[in-house]
Structure 1
Amino acid sequence: MSQPLSTTRAPAAATAAASVPASAFAERADTERWPARLALMLAHCAGMLDLVALPVWVGTLVSAYQLDPQQAGGLATLFLVGAVFSSLAVAPRLHRLPGRLVAALGFGLAALAFAGVSQTTDYATMAVLHALAGVTSAAALSCTHGTIARSANPHRLFAFVGIALGVFAVLFFAAVPPLLAQLGGALLFQVFAGVMAVACVATALAFPQRVRGQVPVAGQGSPAAVPRVALGRAVWLGALGVSCMAVVQAMMFSFLERIGMDRGFGLQAVNAVLVALGLVNLLPAGLAALLQRRWLAERVVLCGPLAQAVLVLVITQSQQFAPYAAAASVFAAVMIFTHTFAFGLLARLDPSGRALAATPAMMMAGAALGPVLGGTLVKWAGYESLAVAAVLTAACAVACFSQARQRTSAHPAQPA
């Protein structure tokens, strides 16, 4: 099947390349340089910190700060709500904003906010600083994802930053939980501040210059001019499907560590599971890139929510360590793998790249609901209630992605 695919797209790529001025290629070359790629990798790791750290984040707020699950989930939700509104404000204005300045300033302010959290135990102050960190880091992340979406090969570059996030997860889970047990919960927010500070310096020095007026053809190495048109129904439903998966991800991930501890598996065993989770997260982005031409994105995004729901059932219902550990270690990988294909699917549905520039909003809109929803369910109905919510949300995600699939399949590529 790979031969007809390449035959079909080659003339389109050649036509696009012929119609784009040389200056457009010169502007895009910056994202192909490794200093620029490394800056985007570090920015992605900092901006997607919640995807890695959420179980330790909420667990630390419960164990070290003596908050109940609802209060702890509420702080994480404030961070994510701030991120959603920030991304929705920044994404439509990317062409008018200096990307390097916004990214560096956003991460710098987020570093200061998290440093402030580490110095207080007052809930109201922590809430304000969590919201501020979300607003500022998401502004930086929107510029990061907008740049990735307008690179010469967005699927490949998104896979690179996904691999970087996996490496970051390994380092985080290997180092931070043991240190928290020794040095106290404030260390977590000092680590968050350090991560944001590193991203601030990296983006200030090497963030790629903004691409003006051109967007890449999805899945191609050549950019092409694309008229500005309204986003279609399939794009909105595809984005909503990603948000539904983010709800399940955040809801379950927030209490992954607490479930293991409350069921008596022990701190060392639970930390080992988190390290294993980080190691597994090294694989899905690269694997998704390798399978880009072999697996249909429309099918992958239908299977992803179902896999999520099954894993939540195993994690929440199992009283034994082995099933819990096996399911927990691959849980985040399902989201990373499926989101990479969803990124490619949305690139085809929206060649202008505007939908992908709002990736932080579509991810964090769902993730913002997850911690507080999960905390409320756990508080009133126990961990088992998370499985019911996950199954219902997965059904909504499948329904949304099925409509995106119908839209893309309604206009198949014509052979040359």
Structure 2
Amino acid sequence: MNTRSTSTFGHVALIVAHCAGMVDLVALPVWVGTLIQHYRLDPQQAGGLVTLFLIGAVLSSVFLASRFQRVKGRWVAAGGYAIAATCFGVLSQPLDVTTMAVLHAAGGLAAGAALSATHGTIARSANPHLKFAIVGVGLGVFAVLFLGTSPKAIAAAGGYMLFAIFGGVMLLAALVCAIGFPDPEREATDRQGAPVAAIPRAVWFGILGISAMALVQSMTFSFLERVGNDRGFSLNAITGVLVVLGFVNLLPAALAAFFEKRWSARSVLMVGPVLQALLAATIMMAPGFYAYAAAASVFAAVMIFTHTFAFGLMARLEPSGRAMAATPAMLMVGAAIGPVLGGTLVKTAGYGSLGLAALLIGSLAVLCMSRLPGHAPSSLAQEPA
């Protein structure tokens, strides 16, 4: 076993790589809202473009996950984010919708590969729950910065500014990964000469459960800004909600680290989808601003908290890192469907239909999570970092 711990700069590289690859979790409402307001696309078209980015991420993540142990994570991460930065840089120029679609798909392919290398490396750490919580706190800081500055910058400069910001984030991630991306801390089973075990059935159910939660997350979050705007809430009020959401997102990963040994992972995974669905329904159906603002402020935090427990548990159930290298796929296969499904529902049946859909999908997520154990078997548990 490789006993080296990740250096400080290695932790920074993982945090920056995680933030860049998970930009959709933070930026969906601004992304979709910008495409509708500044590019004059309807909700279905706007959701479809974001869906192409997410489908690209899913495909590259699925392709890379089974090969994770045979690739050099540093160069996959650096190269992937460099290509994504180029795609977003081109998107910041005036383009037709077809070209925008191609660039969204290409950017998703590149960013998904980079994020797979990042999550596979985290999963192979001595304490994947704690390390995923650390990068989750970093994502919360990024959310505060992005949501606090980007809406007004885009309103002042135009829609192109969104893609310029994305391009800058991806370029920074490429540079940091090229310099400091760490090697996995645990040796892979197949490098020790033994056959790699099949991924446990419980892990597959966990993957489906997280995918269902990601679907609710993206379907709701994509139209969080739009539903507030269409109800007559001011730009300042909606931006304020997004800023509060960003600050709230500083907490869930840290809390997940604190409660790692205190709460059963299975209990968290059973409650998380229920709470997420109820918040989604509140956002889409509440008539007043305060109910909307309260639910929206904590909505993303539920996903971050629940997913940290899921990541830690499943990384220990499947210690080779293959399943967790597919984290972008399990998140984005749901997230890819969400924007276009949400746009279709809004276009045909109004915002209330999103709340009803969230409740149905949340029930499926609970069913899947119920198949996971409360803790990994002791034979698979790793020593803390």
User: Which band: TM-score by shorter chain?
Assistant: over 0.9
What is the match of residue 101 of structure 2?
127
Correspondence list, 1:13-412, <5 A: 20=1, 24-25=2-3, 28-29=4-5, 31=6, 33-210=7-184, 213-214=187-188, 228-405=196-373
Q: CA deviation at 1:227?
A: 5.5
Q: Distance in 2 between matches of 1:342 and 1:213?
A: 22
Moved more, 302-311 or 147-156: 147-156
Structure 2 unaligned runs (5+)?
A: 380-385
Using structure 2 for the length normalisation, give the TM-score: 0.95
Tell me which structure has the larger Cα radius of gyration: 1
One-letter amino acid of the counterpart of residue 324, structure 2: L
Q: What secondary structure sits across from 1:403 in the alignment?
A: coil
One-letter amino acid of the counterpart of residue 139, structure 1: A
Task: Note if contact 1:111-1:197 (Cα within 8 Å) is conserved in structure 2.
Answer: yes
Q: What secondary structure sits across from 2:371 in the alignment?
A: helix
Task: Note if contact 1:214-1:225 (Cα within 8 Å) is conserved in structure 2.
Answer: no
Q: CA deviation at 1:347?
A: 2.2
Task: Note if contact 2:57-2:111 (Cα within 8 Å) is conserved in structure 1.
Answer: yes
Describe the superposition over 1:187-239 as per-residue Cα deviations: whole angstroms up to 9, x where unpaired: 00000000000000000110112457347xxxxxxxx9985111122110011
4+ runs of 1 displaced by more than 4 Å?
224-227
Q: Distance in 1 between matches of 2:52 and 2:256?
A: 31
Q: CA deviation at 1:349?
A: 2.4
One-letter amino acid of the counterpart of residue 238, structure 1: G
Task: Note if contact 1:285-1:337 (Cα within 8 Å) is conserved in structure 2.
Answer: yes
Q: Distance in 1 between matches of 2:218 and 2:193?
A: 37
Describe the superposition over 1:124-169 as per-residue Cα deviations: whole angstroms up to 9, x where unpaired: 0000000000000111111111111111221111111000000000
Task: Note if contact 1:226-1:351 (Cα within 8 Å) is conserved in structure 2.
Answer: no
One-letter amino acid of the counterpart of residue 156, structure 1: L
Alpha-carbon spacing, 1:398–1:136, altered in 2? closer, same or farther (3 Å): same
Q: What secondary structure sits across from 2:138 in the alignment?
A: helix
Task: Note if contact 1:120-1:126 (Cα within 8 Å) is conserved in structure 2.
Answer: no
Q: CA deviation at 1:405?
A: 3.3
RMSD: 1.7
Q: Distance in 2 between matches of 1:80 and 1:372?
A: 11
Describe the superposition over 1:226-272 as per-residue Cα deviations: whole angstroms up to 9, x where unpaired: 85111122110011000000000000000000011000011110000
Q: Distance in 1 between matches of 2:67 and 2:365?
A: 28
Q: What secondary structure sits across from 2:67 in the alignment?
A: helix
Task: Note if contact 1:214-1:226 (Cα within 8 Å) is conserved in structure 2.
Answer: no
Q: Distance in 2 between matches of 1:395 and 1:293?
A: 27
Task: Note if contact 1:226-1:352 (Cα within 8 Å) is conserved in structure 2.
Answer: no
Q: Distance in 1 between matches of 2:164 and 2:96?
A: 17
Moved more, 38-47 or 203-212: 203-212
One-letter amino acid of the counterpart of residue 405, structure 1: P
Q: What count of residue pairs does the alignment treat as equivalent?
A: 377
Q: Distance in 2 between matches of 1:171 and 1:371?
A: 23
Using structure 1 for the length normalisation, give the TM-score: 0.88
Instruction: Give % identity.
Output: 59
Structure 1 unaligned runs (5+)?
A: 1-19, 216-223
Q: What secondary structure sits across from 1:73 in the alignment?
A: helix
Moved more, 397-406 or 64-73: 397-406
One-letter amino acid of the counterpart of residue 107, structure 1: Y
Q: CA deviation at 1:121?
A: 3.2
Q: Distance in 1 between matches of 2:163 and 2:357?
A: 30
Q: CA deviation at 1:348?
A: 3.2
Q: CA deviation at 1:175?
A: 0.8
